[in-house]
Amino acid sequence: MKARIALGMVGVAAMTLGAVQLFTVGEVKAPVDVPLWLAGGIVLHDAVLTPVVLAVGAALSRWLPPHVRRPVRGGLITAACLTAVALPFLLRPAATSNPSVLPLDYPRNLAVALGAVVVLTALAAGGAALRRLRSHRRN
């Protein structure tokens, strides 16, 4: 219990420091936009991402065998998180006059990361299927 309180205090201190730096060092031009942006993230999570994850989970439970569901769910959640993190870079406005603002090839990098997630998910699902097959052969 004491560890939870200590971790909570560290979290509150970190958020306070971040808020102070945001409004003093970060040169926020429109401080009203920050709470709107944060509220938009909550709405996006609760109104879009959660229903999609629940619908995909329900579909998986009907189509996939039970021993493969967990690795596939993990891969889908990882892919969704990667996409959510990359989305601002993918939806950025057209090229700016400063080429160093967003210099990387974000669509290609996302595709490579998602490809790695697919491969690792397939390996994990295959491993789960092999374990299931071996356990059935023993019995």
- Residues 41-71: tens digit of each pLDDT: 888 888 988 888 788 888 888 889 988 999 9
Q: Is residue 2 part of a domain?
A: no
Report the domain count for the chain.
Answer: 1
Does residue 15 belong to any structural domain of this protein? no
Residue 5 lies inside a defined structural domain of this protein: no
Whole-model pTM: value is 0.66
**Spatial separation of the C-alpha atoms in residues 87 and 92, rounded to whole Å:** 8
Tell me whether residue 22 is in a domain.
no
The answer to whether residue 7 sits within a structural domain is no
Whether 75 is covered by a domain: the verdict is yes
In terms of residue numbers, what domain contains 43? Answer: 33-91+103-139
Cβ pair 86, 106 in contact under 8 A: yes
Residue 84 lies inside a defined structural domain of this protein: yes
d(CA 53, CA 48): 9
Domain presence at residue 45: yes
